[in-house]
Amino acid sequence: MTVSTRLARRASALAATALAALTTAAVTAAPASAQPKQPAQSTTDVRLIAFNDLHGNLEPPSGSSGRVTLSDGSTVNAGGAAYLATHVKRLRAQAKNSVVLSTGDNVGASPTVSALFHDEPTIDLLNQLGVTASAVGNHELDEGYQELLRLQHGGCHPTDGCQFDDRYTGSRWPYLAANMTFDNGVPATLPFTITFSGGVPIGIIGVPLEELPTVVSADAIKGLKFGDEVAAINKYADLLDRVGVKSIAVLLHQGDNTEGGGPDDCRTTPGPATTIATQVSAKVDVVFSGHSHQQYVCTVTDPAGQPRPLIQGASFGRLLSVADLRIDRRTRDVVRSQTRAFNQIVTRDVPADKDAQALVDRAAAESAPIANRQVGTISGDVVKQGAASGESPLGDVIADSQLAATQQTAGAQLALMNPGGVRADLSYAGSAAGEGDGVVTYGEAYTVQPFGNILQTVTMTGDQLKTVLEQQWQRQPDGSVQTRILQPSASLHYTWSASAPIGSKVSDITVAGQPVSPTGSYRVTINNFLSGGGDGFTEFTKATNLTGSGIDLDAFLAYLGANPNLAPPALDRISTTA
């Protein structure tokens, strides 16, 4: 029996389990007409508590990644598993009936305290929190479908074995992906689950973003397909509704961007999350979103003209998104007019949860010999936040490190780094580990570059290089424009125009001070994610003469070691005009 056949049979079994759950729900929650007569206003209250994009941040995240911005522009330190657990317990204590959920990216791109153990400590944390279900995020598939199955069902890592516990037992909750199938159309995991709270059944549908193949290595998702989110949600909302499950929440691993604002503001730039939340079936009562690492609490209008919340809680465990639902016991449906949604800041002014803190302390202690090793020094904060041009100090440093690693071995002339791969700031201030101000540890460097991507140097023409730079602005299906500015090495300079149309924004490209010739040949270093067309940079797939050149983290570590007291570079590689 082939691997694909075994996976297909497993998925079929999962689908059968889902249908069995529907049948059970139908029996347990009989049609309203069969229920004893209840007073018209007889209701029950249920609190849904969700978080998104935790990314294995067990310790309080540092720098801007560990702060929440309020409506007035001030900030509050937030995050850390032990404080997250305390706030979850407090929110549960305030409501008799509560359900804890995740909108995906629990793991992947994680700090060393989780990543060195293949994120098993983070799954242990979610088990402690009593999570009922999680959507599959794109980072759940960083290491492929088999690793997703292992994280859920348990077992030691096939290469490294069990390093955190002698026996890894997996998650106590299901990962959900209603629009993820194998190539043959068979569901690759459960599309939904049903939980009972307050005496009523509640359907939970999980959905990764349809564009997941553009943000994950092609090899990691070989054999998988990702369908339209709205169609998948509506399909399973109809199934749930037919068997008497009338209260339905969606865990959508897709999000919008914002124009600032506090945790409960709705200053979004309407994008894919708003589009999906507006279009999905009126049977859906609340949409928790993720992926974009933004904070907002919005109200959208469903196809029946009723309001429902669309909410996201930033990232890294800094916020908990809460939807308080009032459910009619007779109809088992949510009374929409009485829904209340808000984001709770995971402040650090509360007692640390003892069980969660013990888990974090153990993971930190066991990872410390590697994580706390000094690998370089910096003279000031080197941050990932970009200027108006999109260029960032840390992005520049990473691109420079990749060029330095490939100039002699592969003839590289320039390097380009995808901005989504820059995961955290390098902070000058010393951490609680006691390494001292200005010291960069292995753990800090790993948190910046956690993916272990392979550097690849390719040959491109000047025309192809310009096309790549033009692909930094991409029109989305909803009409919005997605901007992803590649981080350039010091050898590349160019100008882009804010007012020019998409496809004609970039001009004055130079490499090593010389104007780029349309027919000239240039050696460009990128990572394997970009070379496969990731983030929509499809022009990279047309490059030739590929030379593999080691791991991106190794290049970053070598560059830090070779450049002591590294200063943030001047942001002068990308210029802008009106």
Region(s) of the chain under CATH 3.90.780.10: 373-577
Report the C-alpha gap between 110 and 57 in whole angstroms.
6
CB 206 within 8 A of CB 177: yes
CB 528 within 8 A of CB 522: no
The first and second tokens of residue 433, run together, are 């580990």
Whether the pLDDT of residue 15 is over 80: the answer is no
Summarize pLDDT for 186-205 with one digit per residue, the tens.
Answer: 999 999 999 999 999 999 99
Summarize pLDDT for 255-277 with one digit per residue, the tens.
Answer: 998 988 999 999 998 889 999 99
Report the C-alpha gap between 244 and 32 in whole angstroms.
8
CB 266 within 8 A of CB 309: no
Backbone angle region of 170, left / alpha / beta, with phi > 0 → left and psi within -120 to 50 → alpha: left
Contacts of 474 (CB under 8 A, 6+ apart): 481, 482, 483, 484, 502, 536
Report the C-alpha gap between 551 and 401 in whole angstroms.
11
Q: Is 536 exposed, middle or buried (0-12, 13-18, 19+ CB in 10 A)?
A: middle
The first and second tokens of residue 573, run together, are 């590689």
Region(s) of the chain under CATH 3.60.21.10: 3-354
Torsion of CA 287, 292, 293, 294, to 10 degrees: -70
CB 199 within 8 A of CB 44: yes
Report the C-alpha gap between 107 and 119 in whole angstroms.
6
Largest CA distance in the chain: 82
pLDDT higher at 131 or 453: 131
Query: Residue 34 — very low, low, confident or very high, per pLDDT cuts 50/70/90?
Result: very low
* Cα 313 to chain centroid, rounded: 12
Looking at residue 142, its amino acid is D
State mean pLDDT over 119-142.
Answer: 97
* Residue 41, pLDDT score: 55
Report the C-alpha gap between 265 and 260 in whole angstroms.
9
* Residue 109, pLDDT score: 87
DSSP letter (8 states) at residue 187: B
Using CA of residue 547, residue 550, residue 553, residue 558, what is the dihedral sign?
negative
Report the C-alpha gap between 561 and 382 in whole angstroms.
15
- How high does pLDDT run on average in the chain? 92
Report the C-alpha gap between 397 and 495 in whole angstroms.
20
Q: Which superfamily, per CATH, for 3-354?
A: Metallo-dependent phosphatases (3.60.21.10)
* Residue 26, pLDDT score: 37
Report the C-alpha gap between 430 and 437 in whole angstroms.
4
CA atoms within a 13 Å half-sphere pointing along the CA-CB vector of 567: 3
Question: Helices 229-242 and 3-28 sit at what angle, rounded to 10 degrees?
Answer: 40
Report the C-alpha gap between 314 and 344 in whole angstroms.
11
CB 214 within 8 A of CB 529: no
- pTM exceeding the 0.85 threshold for the entire prediction: no
Contacts of 243 (CB under 8 A, 6+ apart): 22, 23, 25, 26, 29
CB 281 within 8 A of CB 306: no
Share above pLDDT 70 across residues of the chain, in percent, rounded to a whole number: 93
Report the C-alpha gap between 356 and 128 in whole angstroms.
7
Pick the range with the lowest mean pLDDT from 39-43, 260-264, 563-567.
39-43
Cα separation of the two ends of the chain = 61
State mean pLDDT over 362-375.
Answer: 95
Our CA angle for 195, 315, 288, nearest 5°, is 35
Q: Which superfamily, per CATH, for 373-577?
A: 5'-Nucleotidase, C-terminal domain (3.90.780.10)
Report the C-alpha gap between 175 and 149 in whole angstroms.
9
Summarize pLDDT for 149-171 with one digit per residue, the tens.
Answer: 999 999 999 999 998 999 999 99
Contacts of 41 (CB under 8 A, 6+ apart): none
Looking at residue 479, its amino acid is G
Question: Helices 120-129 and 354-371 sit at what angle, rounded to 10 degrees?
Answer: 170
